[in-house]
Chain A
Amino acid sequence: MSLASTVPAAPGVYVGAANVIAAVMLLIEFGMLRQALARDQVRLYAAQSALISVLAVVIAADRNLPDLYVLAALSAGLKVVAVPLVLRRLLPATADEEEAAGVAGSQTVSPATAVLAGIVLAAFGFFSFGGLHVHGRAAPATALAIAAAMMLVAFGLMIVRRDVASQAIGFLALENSISLAALVVAAGLPLILETAFLFDLLVAIVVFGMLIRAHHARAESLSTADLTRLQG
Chain B
Amino acid sequence: MSVALPIPLIQLLQVLTVAVGAPGVTGVIAKVEARLQGRRGPRIAQPYYDLAKLFRKEALAPEGASWFFLAAPVIAVAAYLTIPLLIPVLTSYPLPLGYMGDILGGGFLLSLASFVVATAALETGSPYAQLGSSRAKTFSAITEPVVLFVVFTVALLTGTDLPYALAATVRSSAGQVIRPAHLLAATALFMVILHETGRIPVETHSGTNEFGMIEEARAFEHSGPYFALLKWGSELKQLILFIILADVFLAPWGLAATQKAGAVVLAIAALLAKAVAVGCVVAVIDNSFAKLRLFKITEFVSAAFLLAVLGVFTLYLGGG
Complex CA distance for A187 and B184, rounded to whole angstroms: 26
Q: Are A10 and B176 touching (Cβ within 8 A)?
A: yes
Residues of A21-54 contacting chain B, CB below 8 A: 22-23, 26-27, 30, 34
Q: Considering the complex, give the chain A residue whose CB is closest to the CB of B158.
A: A7
Q: Are B179 and A122 touching (Cβ within 8 A)?
A: no
A86-118 interface mask toward B, CB cutoff 8 Å, 1 = contact, 0 = none? 000000000000000000000000111001101
Are A16 and B168 also in contact (CB < 8 A) when A111-B302, A123-B313 are? no
Q: Which residues of B contact A141 (CB under 8 A)?
A: 317-319
Count how many chain B residues have C-beta atoms less than 8 Å from C-beta atoms of the other chain: 39
Q: Are A146 and B314 touching (Cβ within 8 A)?
A: yes
Q: Are A112 and B302 touching (Cβ within 8 A)?
A: yes
Q: Are A30 and B306 touching (Cβ within 8 A)?
A: yes
Judged by a CB distance under 8 angstroms, whether B159 is at the interface is yes
Judged by a CB distance under 8 angstroms, whether A192 is at the interface is no
Complex CA distance for A172 and B271, rounded to whole angstroms: 46
Q: Are B173 and A130 touching (Cβ within 8 A)?
A: no
Q: Are A27 and B178 touching (Cβ within 8 A)?
A: no
Partner of A19 from the list B94, B169, B173, B319 (CB cut-off 8 Å) is B319
Residues of B134-166 contacting chain A, CB below 8 A: 157-159, 162, 164-165
Judged by a CB distance under 8 angstroms, whether A178 is at the interface is no
Judged by a CB distance under 8 angstroms, whether B78 is at the interface is no
Q: Which residues of A contact B303 (CB under 8 A)?
A: 30, 34, 115
Complex CA distance for A15 and B180, rounded to whole angstroms: 10
* Chain A interface size, under 10 / 10 to 19 / 20 to 34 / 35 or more: 35 or more
Judged by a CB distance under 8 angstroms, whether A6 is at the interface is yes
- Give min CB distance, A82 to chain B, whole Å: 30
Q: Which residues of A contact B164 (CB under 8 A)?
A: 3
Complex CA distance for A228 and B67, rounded to whole angstroms: 64
Residues of B273-320 contacting chain A, CB below 8 A: 298-299, 301-303, 305-307, 309-310, 313-314, 316-320
Judged by a CB distance under 8 angstroms, whether A119 is at the interface is yes
Are A20 and B159 also in contact (CB < 8 A) when A3-B165, A11-B319, A15-B319 are? no
Q: Are B317 and A126 touching (Cβ within 8 A)?
A: yes
Complex CA distance for A179 and B305, rounded to whole angstroms: 27
Q: Are B299 and A26 touching (Cβ within 8 A)?
A: no
Q: Considering the complex, give the chain B residue whose CB is closest to the CB of A123.
A: B313
Q: Considering the complex, give the chain B residue whose CB is closest to the CB of A10.
A: B175
Complex CA distance for A17 and B177, rounded to whole angstroms: 10
Q: Which residues of B contact A116 (CB under 8 A)?
A: 302, 305
Partner of A10 from the list B162, B173, B184, B309 (CB cut-off 8 Å) is B173
Judged by a CB distance under 8 angstroms, whether A1 is at the interface is yes
Q: Are A13 and B175 touching (Cβ within 8 A)?
A: yes
Q: Which residues of A contact B205 (CB under 8 A)?
A: none
Complex CA distance for A1 and B162, rounded to whole angstroms: 14
Judged by a CB distance under 8 angstroms, whether A8 is at the interface is yes
- Give min CB distance, B105 to chain A, whole Å: 17
Judged by a CB distance under 8 angstroms, whether B174 is at the interface is yes
Complex CA distance for A115 and B301, rounded to whole angstroms: 11
Q: Are B178 and A16 touching (Cβ within 8 A)?
A: yes
Complex CA distance for A140 and B309, rounded to whole angstroms: 20
Judged by a CB distance under 8 angstroms, whether A145 is at the interface is yes
Partner of A13 from the list B158, B174, B180 (CB cut-off 8 Å) is B174
Q: Considering the complex, give the chain A residue whose CB is closest to the CB of B92.
A: A1
Q: Considering the complex, give the chain B residue whose CB is closest to the CB of A149.
A: B313
Complex CA distance for A34 and B169, rounded to whole angstroms: 35
Q: A7-B165, A111-B299, A115-B302 are in contact. List 18 more A-B contacts (CB 8 A).
A: A1-B93, A3-B168, A4-B171, A8-B157, A13-B175, A23-B180, A23-B314, A26-B310, A27-B310, A30-B303, A34-B299, A112-B298, A112-B302, A115-B299, A116-B305, A130-B317, A142-B320, A143-B319
A–B complex contacts, Cβ < 8 Å, 24 sampled? A1-B92, A1-B93, A1-B171, A3-B165, A4-B165, A4-B168, A6-B159, A7-B168, A7-B169, A8-B157, A11-B175, A13-B174, A13-B178, A16-B178, A17-B178, A20-B183, A23-B184, A23-B310, A23-B314, A115-B306, A119-B306, A126-B313, A142-B314, A145-B317
